[in-house]
Chain A
Amino acid sequence: MKRRVSLVIDRTTCDGRGLCAELFPERIVLDPWGYPIIDGDAIPRSLLDHARRAARSCPLLALHLIEGRQ
């Protein structure tokens, strides 16, 4: 089994400040209203640091990095 790390957004808390898209443009873009668009894909090891920084920096603590197994 492989470790699988992906991003989850707490949509009820996110208010679209957009910091995550600044910090992790490889995987996060903003919609026309300023809310992040992400896919549920696994984050490759090469991008993990950026993903972590984005999750750590969310002003509302609404972005989470979760580990699952797949």
Chain B
Amino acid sequence: MPRLLAGVEPTGGEIGLAEHFAQWGVLDLRRVGGDLVDELEASGLVGHGGAWFPVATKWRSIGTRGTRRPVVVANGAEGEPASSKDALLLSRMPHLVLDGASAAAAALGASRVVVYVPARLTHGIERAVEARRRHGLDPVEIEVVSAPDAFITGQESAVVSALDGRPAVPSFVGLQPVRVRGVGGRPTLVQNVETLAHVALIARFGAQWFRAIGTEQFPGSMLVTLSGRYAGTVVIEAPLGLPLREVLALSPGSESNYRGALLGGYGGGWVSMPTLLEVDLTETSARSWNTTLGAGVVVLLPHSVCPLVEVARVVRYMERQQAGQCGPCVHGLAALDEAVRCLALQPASLRGGVEPILDLCALIDGRGGCRHPDGVVRFVRSACSVFSDEVATHLRHGPCHLIDAAPILPIPHFRSAHAANER
């Protein structure tokens, strides 16, 4: 430790090919084959995009025996506003991600490799790809495609739609999943860029090396985007399974001045500070506290803001970020947005207290074409529980004196998911 962040100074530019080779050695991609999947299975690597699904299982499910060769997509869209670890990897260590993408293509026999990243990062990635081309590194040419700036553009089926020239919004995959019928109708692997960076290291050093840190079920390390502290937003790397209290100790600041913490981002869940210090860095632990690690997001919420106003602002953002395709999400999030806004700003107008909000959550949960509404539900439910004191105070006395405090949770300048697609 650190692994992915080894040799990376807090400030600085992109790590070029020469430096990359000096740090990690050359990965001969022409010698990578199907046995990499066995190595990944032995390594126990799981996906770091938020779903925590075993990588080897996912790769084995990609149809490689049909007549159509697979497509590999390195997903760096990172629509989550409170996450910046993918952008860090792509801007500072692009070759680790590109090694992983090419290794995946070699292992699966893919004939197309696409790196899907926000427009602001395409130039740097194109430069890195060009440097690799001059060295003849990648057996299959790497394409760079820009992802529209919106929350849901990184969802698996939205990625496929974007690469097929349609709007980057999720589609119905209940009959034919992306792994069977994805980009151009071909079997498609959509894998988060951090996951691919881990693949690049496992391809070099093997499963046993990977398992030297982390837990039995969740080996290795992960990137965590930690924000809400005075130090600003930092990306740190920690072994999986590390208690959150030790993760927090990796960056300066104390835990005493916070009201609660958000784990997993805007589709994640709130926990109290005592709970946060009980969680360890595994998805199993986060789930046991009704939240998720998501893509490795931890936001500490200081006492200087009203948690309910922060929540209402995020719910508004998430409501505006839905794709407008599925009835329960369109109508449900609109109603939830209005109710949560009332709770924060005009509690007197909220009939029935918090109950109608929880009823709406139950009505929406699990009923979208994708998991976007479910994430909002988790976010709101956990807020109602963790901030129950504030909820009670608001219902009794009206909005609190922190109503106009400067926001902590970042809300990007947003257009609707569809507007973001119009380029």
CB pair B172 A11 closer than 8 Å = yes
Q: Is A8 among interface residues, defined by CB-CB distance under 8 A?
A: yes
**Which listed residue (A14, A34, A64, A66) contacts B326, Cβ 8 A?**
A14
Q: Which of A9, A13, A16, A31 contacts B363 (CB 8 A)?
A: A31
Residue A46, interface by CB 8 Å: no
A70 within 8 A of B: no
Tell me if A12 and B328 are in contact (CB < 8 A).
no
Complex contact A15–B327 (CB within 8 A): yes
Beyond A12-B325, A16-B327, whether A35 also contacts B367 by CB under 8 A is: yes
How many Å lie between the Cα of A9 and that of B332 in the bound state?
17
- Top 7 closest A-B pairs, CB basis? A11-B326, A35-B327, A11-B369, A33-B331, A10-B172, A12-B325, A8-B174
**Cβ contact within 8 Å between B327 and A33:** yes
Q: Does A47 contact B (CB under 8 A)?
A: no
- Nearest B residue (CB) for A35: B327
- B18 in the interface, Cβ–Cβ < 8 Å? no
When the two chains form their complex, are residues B172 and A13 in contact, meaning their CB atoms are under 8 A apart? yes
B363–A12 contact, CB under 8 A? no
Q: Indicate if B171 sits at the interface (CB-CB under 8 A).
A: yes
Chain A interface residues toward B at CB < 8 A: 8-16, 31-35, 37, 64, 66
Q: How far is the CA of A14 from the CA of B331 in the complex (A)?
A: 13
The reply to whether the CB of B231 lies closer than 8 angstroms to some CB of chain A is no
A16 to B332, CA, bound (A): 13
The answer for the CA separation of A44 and B132 in the assembled complex, in Å, is 57
Q: How far is the CA of A36 from the CA of B367 in the complex (A)?
A: 9
Q: How far is the CA of A66 from the CA of B332 in the complex (A)?
A: 26
- B360 to chain A: closest CB distance in Å? 10
- Contact flags (1/0) for B327-369 with A, using CB distance below 8 Å? 1110110000000000000000000000000000001000111
Of the listed residues B170, B327, B367, the one surrounded by the most CB atoms of chain A closer than 10 A to its CB is B327
Contact A11 B331, beta carbon cutoff 8 Å: no
